[in-house]
A = this chain, B = another copy of it.
Amino acid sequence: MIKVGLYVGRFQPFHMGHIEAIKYALKKVDELIIAIGSAQYSYTLDNPFTTGERITMIRIGLYESGIDTSKYQIVPIPDINIHTLWIAYVKSYTPKFDLVFSNEPLTSRLFKETGIKVESIPYFNRNVCSATEIRKRMISNEDWQSLMPKSVSSYLMEIDGVDRIIELTRTDNPSIQKSKF
């Protein structure tokens, strides 16, 4: 009987911390569903990259790390902003899973309340290996490349991702500057 896990993130951008978390999870389950949250957003300060770009980063990053495509599935999930419904929404969007990997206290509680098992996941170099930190470094022109797989940082250069983030900090377009829905 195959054991399936669920791991939710926004991956803005995808970095070494995510890779270590996925490797950790794949020791506990046979297959991992990687859910991309806030899927409808992009070109905002908090969500600079499109879902298509995030899928690409995850796939090339996992390929570089030697993780086979048969071991994971990627499922983008739009936010619905009504939190009591979010768990039901995730369940309708994803194949059946047996447990959730999460360190987030409220996510954990919400999943547990519907009878789903939740396991925490050790942090990997949390101080620097966070998407927020990486976006900050991109803006202040510090090293961010070392925090992610080479193929992902190359891809971000290719799509001109750093310039996009810098422009997002400077915008005063009312429709764009709202970093949150």
Chain A interface (Cβ < 8 Å from any Cβ of B): 8, 10, 37-44, 46, 50-53, 55-56, 59, 68-70, 73-76, 78-89, 91-96, 104-107, 109-110, 164, 167-168, 170-176, 178, 180-181
- In the complex formed, the residue of B with least CB distance to A170 is B105
**Is A50 a contact of B92 with CB atoms below 8 Å?**
yes
Q: Chain B contacts of A52 at CB under 8 A?
A: 91-96
Bound CA–CA A164/B106 (angstroms): 8
Bound CA–CA A2/B82 (angstroms): 29
Q: Chain B contacts of A68 at CB under 8 A?
A: 69-70
**Is A167 a contact of B106 with CB atoms below 8 Å?**
yes
Bound CA–CA A96/B95 (angstroms): 25
Q: Chain B contacts of A75 at CB under 8 A?
A: 51, 55, 74, 76
**Is A51 a contact of B93 with CB atoms below 8 Å?**
yes
